[in-house]
Amino acid sequence: MNYLNHAVMYRFPADMAALPDVLQQLDNLTAQSSLALVQRAAIVIEELFTNSVCHGLRRAGAPAEVGLSVLQRDGALYVRYQDSFARFDPFQGLDDTWQAVTGPLEDRLIGGLGRLLVYGLSDSASYSRIDGSNRIDLFFAPRV
C-alpha cells in the first residue's frame, strides 16, 4: 500500500474526546464507498484508536497523537492508522490469541479480542514501525 505514502495524514489528539472527530473524518473521506465497507473500517479504526489511547505507552517528549489516511479505489478502501506510542504489533501472536479464545471460557485470558476483530474485519492488514511510529495499513474490499 505504498500509494498511501502520498495520501494526506490527518492527525488527532490521542484522547477519547477526539474519537468522534476521527470517525467523522473517516466518513468524510469515504463518501463514495458503500455503507457496509465504511462501517467495517469504522469499527476497526475505533478499536485501534481506543487501544492507542487506553494502552499506548507514549515515549517521553513525543506528542500524544494518532494519524489517519484513507484512499478509495475501485470500490475498496485503503486505510493507514498511525500512532506515536511505544512499539506494538497488534498482529504478532494472533494464532496464540485465537487458540486462547476458542478454548474453554474459564481458561481464557483477558484481552486480545480487539486484535482479532481488527484482523478479521479487514481483508488485509500489516504492521510496520516507521520513524518511531506504529503504522498499520489496512485494506477493505467489498464483501457480498
6-23: pLDDT as tens digits: 789 999 999 999 999 999
pLDDT for the residue numbered 111: 62
CATH number of the domain at 100, please.
3.30.565.10
How many domains does the chain fold into?
Answer: 1
Secondary structure class of 13 (helix, strand, coil): strand
Nearest to 69 by CA among 106, 29, 35: 29
> For residue 81, how many other CB atoms are within 10 A of its CB?
25
Region of residue 44 (left: phi > 0; alpha: psi -120 to 50; beta: else): alpha
Range of the structural domain that residue 104 is part of: 2-140
pTM reported for the whole predicted model: 0.86
Cβ pair 84, 138 in contact under 8 A: no
Q: How many helices (H) and strands (E) does the chain have?
A: 4, 5
Query: Cβ(69)–Cβ(42) under 8 Å?
Result: no
Tens digits of residue pLDDT in 60-96: 566 689 999 999 998 999 999 999 888 989 888 767 6
Residue found by looking up cell 498499520 in the block: 136
Q: How many other β-carbons are positioned within 10 Å of the β-carbon of residue 125?
A: 21
